[in-house]
Structure 1
Amino acid sequence: MPVDKKELIKILKKIEETSKKRNFTESVELTVNFKDIDLKKPENRINTELVLPNEIEEEARICVIASGELAVKAKELNVNVLDKDELQGLTGNKKAMRKLAKSFDFFVASVDLMPLVGRILGAVLGPRGKMPKPIPPNTDLKSIIENYKRTVRLRMRDNPCLHAKVGVRGMDEEKLAENITAVISFLEEKLERGPNSIKSIYVKTTMGSPVRVPYVRGKR
């Protein structure tokens, strides 16, 4: 691992100690800058979800699109539900659909509603990388919700960089470091040139200044 975990923990502790206290819980954000990547090639654009070792935050913003038993299960777990009638009611209402897309980080939908979801929400959720994962009726919804508390969306757009929320202020620095190294390890495996495609790494809080993380590139 080209990132020294002990050094990373020191950096995270210093950020926590020197950052101003805010009247809201700031996110801890990771930025990875890349080099020598041809973004015209679709395979070089990372767009995926990654389950991290530790929870990013206590509550993940999840919307379950379902009716019947699956909707009941979701409500019992205090998860937001969009039922079939509400879904159909969004037809043609672009403002409401954009608001929905912005309100949630992740969407899941019952298998039977996926064609309808595609027709109504596909044009809004698709470009944002938020198309729902289909789930069958007998799925252990609780496990899915728990996993999403540890899930980060990794998405590279038009610039050779990637931003990811890896935790929140007040989180144990070792757990934050584990989440950060998990993202970097994934990128090293995913990128064609491995560590040599990574130009620089920064960590910051929502309102804070970026702090560079030392990164030693290996050969591949």
Structure 2
Amino acid sequence: MNLKDFQAALQQMRHQSKQRRFVQSIELIVNFKGIDFKKQENQIDVKVNLPHATGKKAGGKTLLFAQDKAFISEMKGKFDRVIEESEIPKLDKKTVNQIVNEFDVLLAEGPVMIPVGKYLGQQLAPKGKMPKPVQPNASAVTAMLAQSGSVTRVSNKKGKFMPVVQVLVGNEKMPDNELAENSFAIFNALMPKLPQKNGNIKSVYLKETMGPPVKVGEKEAAE
């Protein structure tokens, strides 16, 4: 499967698309076959640097740990959640597990990294969720958040690991070439996780929010 396959599918999707009263998101759907996802080494959970921002926080929900009151005031509304330094010791294991599962973009004001490491490190570090330290500079952090829109998490965990991934690649206002390049980047990022590479791909689709899925590439593979 190559970039032209995704471009052709997008052209077909545009042709049959109906006008809506909102901007439709476009998702890539990849169905797998011949993989035992009960085995940890086969489970898919990767971050992909997309060539083009999707227009949404594709990297997932955002979280900031901070202490500076003025900085906190500026950042509220820009992050999905802001946790003040004084709250950190009070976070129980259940709350920290929710942070691990729900948030993908974690930042922390430099000095706050110390209590984060002390109280939360044992749960965050093994999951690769230790926050990135930042200075209390609102414009710089806002720019960093905007850049996170070009990073997306691709996982087949939906309660349990399923033989499918469904991930945002952009919206209908984006040019076809950008949507195709984002889709192809995700498809290529999946390959190292598949024991038989393309042999483990059952089918690939692109889909608008309210539209039918459009097949990408060759005919659907047999079970």
Identify the range of structure 1 (40-49 vs 15-24) with the bigger mean alpha-carbon deviation.
Answer: 15-24
Answer yes or no: is the 8 Å Cα contact 2:107–2:133 preserved in 1: no
TM-score, scaled relative to structure 1: 0.73
1:136 equivalent in structure 2: 133
Answer yes or no: is the 8 Å Cα contact 1:55–1:150 preserved in 2: yes
Equivalence map 1:1-220=2 (5 Å): 2-3=1-2, 5-57=3-55, 61-68=61-68, 72=71, 75=74, 79-80=78-79, 81-85=82-86, 106-109=105-108, 111-112=113-114, 113-117=116-120, 132-137=129-134, 141=141, 144-157=144-157, 158-215=161-218
The alpha-carbon deviation at position 145 of structure 1 amounts to: 2.1
Unpaired runs of 5+ residues, structure 1, are: none
- Report the Cα distance in structure 1 between the residues aligned to 2:66 and 2:89, rounded to whole angstroms: 12
Q: Tell me the matched-pair count.
A: 204
The alpha-carbon deviation at position 66 of structure 1 amounts to: 2.4
Change (3 A) 1:156 1:84: same
The alpha-carbon deviation at position 43 of structure 1 amounts to: 1.1
- Report the Cα distance in structure 2 between the residues aligned to 1:85 and 1:26, rounded to whole angstroms: 41
Change (3 A) 1:156 1:76: closer
Answer yes or no: is the 8 Å Cα contact 1:32–1:161 preserved in 2: yes
Unpaired runs of 5+ residues, structure 2, are: none
Change (3 A) 1:173 1:77: farther
Secondary structure at 2:131 match in 1: strand
- Report the Cα distance in structure 2 between the residues aligned to 1:25 and 1:98, rounded to whole angstroms: 30
Secondary structure at 2:177 match in 1: helix
Answer yes or no: is the 8 Å Cα contact 2:66–2:108 preserved in 1: yes
Secondary structure at 1:178 match in 2: helix
Secondary structure at 2:22 match in 1: coil
Q: Percent identity?
A: 29
The alpha-carbon deviation at position 184 of structure 1 amounts to: 0.8
- Report the Cα distance in structure 2 between the residues aligned to 1:146 and 1:202, rounded to whole angstroms: 27
Residue identity matched to 1:108: L
Residue identity matched to 2:132: I
The alpha-carbon deviation at position 59 of structure 1 amounts to: 5.4
Question: Which stretches of structure 1, 4 residues or more, deviate above 6 A after TM superposition?
Answer: none
Give the aligned CA root-mean-square deviation in angstroms.
Answer: 3.7
